[in-house]
Amino acid sequence: MTNELIEIIKKVKQKITDRSDMTWTTYETPAQLRDELEVYINQFQADDISSLEKIKMLFLPTGTLQEHSICNGWTDEFLNLSTEFDRLYMTIKRYN
């Protein structure tokens, strides 16, 4: 399950380019958000799911990732990824 979660985060991270509009996020630069996502990826790779709730906050409606997707033209892909994230989140929470 964590491997699937990592893949979702990696796909999101690829969408955050140096030219990303970060206006409606809490991040000043795209690099800050990418760096944070990389921390989560590394934690999940080490089977540390302690940041699961933090990443969940990023995926919430009107959260950072949805706002980024709207401002940067990948809304449909975000909705698919967030649906998959929600499914994995519920499964992980059920077993941990």
pLDDT in single tens digits along all 96 residues of the chain: 789 999 999 999 999 999 999 998 889 999 999 999 999 999 999 999 999 999 999 999 999 999 999 999 999 999 999 999 999 999 999 988
pTM of the model: 0.93
Q: What is the pLDDT of residue 74?
A: 97
User: What does DSSP assign to residue 16?
Assistant: -
Rounded to whole angstroms, how far apart are CA atoms 22 and 40?
20
Spell out the residues 6+ positions from residue 61 whose beta carbon is closer than 8 angstroms to its own. none
Q: What is the pLDDT of residue 48?
A: 94
User: What does DSSP assign to residue 60?
Assistant: S
